[in-house]
Amino acid sequence: MAGNRSEMVRDHWRRMREAAVTNPDETAADVRERVDRYWPGLTAEPGGVDYLEVEVNGLPAMWAVPKGAAEDRVVFGVHGGGYVSGSIYTHRKLFGHLAKAVGARALLIEYREQPFPVPLEDVTAAYRWLLDQGIDAGHIAAVGDSIGGGLAVSLMLRARELGLPLPAALMLMSPWVDLTVGNKTFESNRENEAFFYKEVVAFLASAYLGDADPKEPLASPLYADLSGLPPTYVQVGGHETLLGESLEFEQNARKAGVDARLEVFPGQLHTFQMAAGYAPEADDAIRKYAEWVRPKIGLR
C-alpha cells in the first residue's frame, strides 16, 4: 500500500482531473499555467544541487549539478507532461534528486510541444549536442518519465538509425510507449486511477500523433525492434493504467536481447517518483535507480 506521503501524487492527479472537468473550455495555456503552478510542489528540494540554465539548439535546457558530482558523467533527462505540459522547471527537482543520488550532473532538455515527430527531433538534436560537448556516450544515462520515457526510448531508436553511439543505460519512469491506448490495464486498473483514464490518454495520443500511425515505432516504441538498446530499468506503479504497456515493453526488450529489468511498486500511481524527498516510496525508487546505474556509467 502507498504511504501517506505518496498520496500527494494521487491527490495531484485527482486535482488535475477535477480542474479539467470543472473548466472544459480552458485553453492549452490555462492547462500549462495550472500544471506549472502545482506540479513543482510535489517534489522536495534535493539540497546541495545547483541549477544552471543554458540553451541547447535554440531551446531552454538546464544543468542540475550536485555538489561533488563527476563532471564527465551525465544523466540526460527527458521530462513528461503528455506533450501539453511539463517542463525542465516542473522536473528540475526530480532530476536533481536522481543526479545527486547517482553522483553525476543531469542535463534537463526541453522540446517543442508540437505533433510527432517534432519532439523526437528536438530530443535527438539535444543528445547530439551533449555528445558534441565531449561527453562519452558510455558515460551517459538517459532517463524519462511518462511520455518523456517514451521519447527516451524513441531517442535510442533514432540514434541507432543515425549511427550515433547509444548511452550506457536507460531509466524509464512509468513510460508511455504505446499510443494505441489498447492495453487491458486501462480497464483493470481504472478503479485505482486518478487521472490517466483511457479517454484522457486517447485524447493526448491523438493530439500528438496527428496523421501518424499509432503503431509507428518512433512514436510508439512498444512496436519497435528493440535490439541493441542499452541496459534498461523500468519502474512503474502497480495502480496505474499504463502498467500493462510497461510489462509488455520489458518482455519485448528481453526477447530482443536487451538487458532489461522491470519493477512494479505496489499501490503507486503514474510517475510516483515525483514525490522524491517527501515520500519514502519515491526515495526508494530513486535510490534503486542510482545503485543500478552507477556501475553502468563507470561510477562506484
Q: Which amino acid is at 244?
A: G
Region of residue 35 (left: phi > 0; alpha: psi -120 to 50; beta: else): alpha
Q: What would the pLDDT profile of 103-140 be if each residue is shown by its tens digit?
A: 999 999 999 999 999 999 999 999 999 999 999 999 99
Q: Are 40 and 89 in contact (CB under 8 A)?
A: yes
Cα 104 off chain centre by: 18
Rounded Cα distance, 184 and 246, in Å: 12
What is the pLDDT at residue 284?
A: 98
Catalytic positions are 146, 240, 270
pLDDT tens for the 300 residues of the chain, in order: 455 566 777 777 777 777 767 777 767 676 667 777 777 788 999 999 999 999 999 999 999 999 999 999 999 999 999 888 899 999 999 999 999 999 999 999 999 999 999 999 999 999 999 999 999 999 999 999 999 999 999 999 999 999 999 999 999 999 999 999 999 999 999 999 888 899 989 999 999 999 999 999 999 999 999 999 999 999 999 999 999 999 999 999 999 999 999 999 999 999 999 999 999 999 999 999 999 999 999 998
What is the pLDDT at residue 4?
A: 56
Here the cell at position 86 is 511539463
Nearest to 99 by CA among 143, 43, 54: 143
Sketch the domain layout of the chain as residue ranges.
Answer: 7-21+28-293
Q: What would the pLDDT profile of 226-239 be if each residue is shown by its tens digit?
A: 999 999 999 999 99
What is the pLDDT at residue 6?
A: 61
What is the pLDDT at residue 28?
A: 65
What is the pLDDT at residue 1?
A: 44
Rounded Cα distance, 71 and 69, in Å: 6
pTM: 0.93
Q: Are 235 and 266 in contact (CB under 8 A)?
A: no
Beta-strand runs (E) in the chain = 49-56, 59-66, 70-78, 104-109, 140-145, 169-173, 232-237, 260-265
What sign results for the dihedral spanned by CA atoms 189, 195, 199, 200?
Answer: negative
Task: Write out 260-271 in H/E/C secondary structure.
Answer: EEEEEECCCCCC
Sole residue written with cell 490517466? 196
Name 21's Cβ contacts closer than 8 Å, sequence gap at least 6: none
What is the pLDDT at residue 188?
A: 96
What is the CATH number that goes with domain 7-21+28-293?
3.40.50.1820
Q: What are phi and psi of 132, to 5 degrees?
A: -70, -20
Q: Which amino acid is at 214?
A: P
Q: What are phi and psi of 173, to 5 degrees?
A: -105, 115
Residue 19 C-beta-side C-alpha neighbours within 13 Å? 16
What is the pLDDT at residue 7?
A: 77
3-class state of residue 280 by DSSP: helix
- The end-to-end CA distance of the chain, in Å, is 32
Nearest to 185 by CA among 236, 145, 245, 234: 245
